[in-house]
Structure 1
Amino acid sequence: MAVPRVTIGLPVFNGEQYLRAAVDSILSQDYEDFELLLADNCSTDGTLAICRDAAKRDSRVSVHRSDTNRGAAWNYNRLVDLAQGEYFKWAAHDDLHEPAFLRRCVEMLDAEPDISLCYTRAVDIDEYGTVIHHHDLPNYATGSSPSARVSSILLDPSPCIESFGLTRRRQLLQTSKIGAYTGSDRTLFLELALLGRFHEIPETLFMHRNHAGQSVHQYKDSRNRNFWFDPSWQGRFSAPQWRVFREYLRATARSPAPPTERARTVAPLARWGARHRRVLAREAASLLLRRRTTTVTSADGSGTSGEGSR
């Protein structure tokens, strides 16, 4: 069997309500040279049966079941490791794609080698499929220099619709992919922006479903949302904005961009820090207080050394 040009990786946990429609919209793409990897993260509903049915119906589909839920980050990233295609795209179990989505993105990546991430215009739909919002990101991270694109990522943040665009797998493998912490998708955008420019195709071919079951609604507090990314966060203390800031710094430091371009990212990084200074200050104060409390508790013998932090 020939190696597919594109890999679409769909991670899912308990997604039976919308999964069948999402899979059908992918299998209906008019660009057919792809594989669809369905990664079931130990679902307890009918998700696995839907995945297996899709694999029976279409030889391009394979099912990868985990016996333990290891969190969204692990499930997303293993799909990249399993992928065979030159191009890679994540798909969500509740979103929909128009038939031309994949073809239009492949055409653009084929034609423009300096593009690292390609996506189309998008709309939000509700649980019934009714359009409730239009997205438009025509100038997002489109600059000719890495530092200009980083500035766009940091200072003009998107709603993360581009998470489900098409990228080059070789470039994705140069990034940290999806980290096991809240906000890691934005670190990934910064890493991809350092490798190439983003491009939005001016056609509405992607429908992002907004509903109560989404992780952003279930875990509204950023500290609690860490648990969705990685269950090992249970019982641990975190400072989400400081973690993102630290990962931004790491990403720019290890970037293959020229030293002058890496130096030019200092200004937008500083502006990002200033913009989030209140949250950063609150998290720093909480961490300091927690460490003081842990030290006192350990000193008087009434407790252990406390919980880890990241």
Structure 2
Amino acid sequence: MSSTSPTPRTPAPSLERPVVSVGMPAYNAAQTIRGSIDCLLSQTLRNLELIISDNASTDGTWDIIDEYARKDPRIIAIRQRDNIGANGNYSAVFSKARGRYFKWASSNDWCAPQFLERCAAHLDEHPETVLVSPRTRLFEGALDRFTDYERDVSFEQADPVDRFVAVGTLLALNNVLNGVARTEVLARTRLIEHYVGADTVLIGHLALLGKISLLDERYFYRRMDQQTATQLMSAEALARHHYPTRTRRSLFSAWRRVGGSLHAAVSSGLSTTDALRALRWVLRTTYWSAGELRRDVADAIAYSVRR
């Protein structure tokens, strides 16, 4: 059975509540994690906690995390005894968060020093906003060799179902997942469940709960290579990323995605009329995904036969 155990050398958290909790899921990130940690510890917003969960890495990732945790009391270090999958590790870091706001941070990416301060200030000033992120730059290799990503988008329509539909039609790279959200609102969701596309379902759920804003500044630098970017991974590598061990939990991924969207539509406190509108949209996208749903059934049958 998987479990977590904070390193005993991690200092007890301060009694003062952090403004922002940053959750960093990590797996075999020894080549990149130092830069990702350093940029967060150097933020202009100092009142933060950094929760890092090593997902049973097989390289030197844990040693690096442990080294940083010894030096900075803002770091909470967790070591998974077994690999619980990328999505499970994302949820694991959120479970330890104490901050008013929460940000997921990859162990491969880089954030400009003003990232947290500007996002937290925007949330302070806009109570209707549940998530805010800056614009993105994509890089591979050296940080200074970047390209500006032009498809970041906000979802600030007054109508929650319009925002929900816009997420489903406009969201390409899910850079907004790396923004700063209200912790209490994230807690109303199922976070990132164990299926492909769960991150997009989460953004759709948040869009039903409030507005999603975009800052004009390019404070987020996202690494894009086959080792770190899921959109560039092979189908086999993507499956291992989500399901390190082939079990029944890996079956019916597309069906689970539909179920996640249905849950978002009915659990967001919408009026009956709006809930029905959201459900109609989910059913329409389910029809468009008929091929994936059929493949899920065939895959489940094949899995049962092999067993």
Partner of 2:263: 250
1:289 and 1:20 map into 2 onto residues whose CA distance is 39
Cα deviations across residues 247-267 of structure 1 (Å, max 9, x unaligned)? 212221222122222122244
For 1:179 and 1:173, the matched residues in 2 are separated by 13
Contact 1:55 1:62 in 2 (8 A): yes
Which residue of structure 1 lines up, in the alignment, with residue 281 of structure 2? Answer: 268
Which whole-Å deviations, capped at 9, do the CAs of 1:19-63 have from their partners, x for residues lacking one? 001100111100111001111111121111211221223221121
Separation (CA, whole Å) in 2 of partners of 1:285 and 1:136: 33
Q: How many residues align?
A: 293
| Cα distance in 2, alignment partners of residues 189 and 55 from structure 1 | 31
Q: Is the 8 A contact 1:227 1:234 kept in 2?
A: no
Which of the pair has more CA radius of gyration?
A: 1
Q: Which residue of 2 aligns with 1:86?
A: 100
Tell whether 2:219 aligns with 1:209.
Answer: no
Match of 1:281 among 272, 278, 291: 291
How far does residue 9 in structure 1 lie from its aligned partner after superposition?
A: 0.6
Counterpart contact for 1:155–1:268, Cα < 8 Å: no
Q: Which residue of 2 aligns with 1:53?
A: 67
| Deviating more after overlay: 21-30 vs 47-56 | 47-56
Deviation at 1:242, TM superposition (A): 3.2
Task: Determine the structure 1 residue equivalent to 2:241.
Answer: 228
Whether the aligned pair in 2 keeps the contact of 1:237 and 1:307 (CA below 8 Å) is no
1:116-143: CA deviation from partner (whole Å, max 9, x where unpaired): 1110001101122244432245643211
Cα distance, 1:19–1:182 mapped onto 2, change above 3 Å: same
2-structure distance, mates of 1:228, 1:257 = 34
CA 1:307–1:257: 2 relative to 1, 3 Å:
farther
- Which stretch shifts more, 239-248 or 47-56? 239-248
Task: Answer yes or no: is 1:180 the counterpart of 2:194.
Answer: yes
For residue 238 of structure 1, what is the aligned residue in structure 2? 251
One-letter amino acid of the structure 1 residue matched with residue 186 of structure 2:
L
Q: Secondary structure at the residue paired with 1:141? A: coil
Tell me how far 1:113 sits from its aligned partner. Answer: 0.8
Partner amino acid, structure 2, of 1:63: A
Q: Superposition pairs for residues 6-25 of structure 1, below 5 Å?
A: 6-25=20-39
Q: How many Å separate the matches in 2 of 1:237 and 1:65? A: 23
Give the alignment's TM-score, normalised by structure 2.
Answer: 0.87
- What SS does the aligned partner of 1:16 have? coil
Q: After superposition, give the CA deviation of every residue in 1:80-113 in whole Å (9 maximum; x if it has no partner).
A: 1111111111100010010000000000011111
C-alpha distance in structure 1 between counterparts of 2:124 and 2:250, whole Å: 44
TM-score, normalised to structure 1, is 0.86
Which whole-Å CA distance do the structure 2 matches of 1:239 and 1:206 have between them? 33
Corresponding position of 1:152: 166
Give the whole-Å Cα distance in 1 for the aligned partners of 2:182 and 2:216.
20
Hey, what's the Cα distance between the residues in 1 that align with 2:124 and 2:231? 37
Q: After the TM superposition, which of the residue ranges 33-42 and 52-61 deviates more from structure 2?
A: 52-61
Contact 1:119–1:165 (CA under 8 A) maintained in structure 2: yes
**2:133 — aligned with what?**
119
Aligned-residue CA RMSD (Å): 2.4
- Aligned residues of 1:155 and 1:272 also touching (Cα < 8 A): no
Distance 1:146 1:267 in 2: 14
Q: Secondary structure at the match of 2:185?
A: helix
- Distance (whole Å) between structure 2 residues aligned to residue 73 and residue 138 of structure 1: 22
- Structure 1: runs of 5 or more not aligned: 295-304
User: Structure 1's 282 and 40: CA in aligned 2 closer, same or farther, altered over 3 A?
Assistant: closer
Residue type matched to 1:67 in 2?
Answer: R
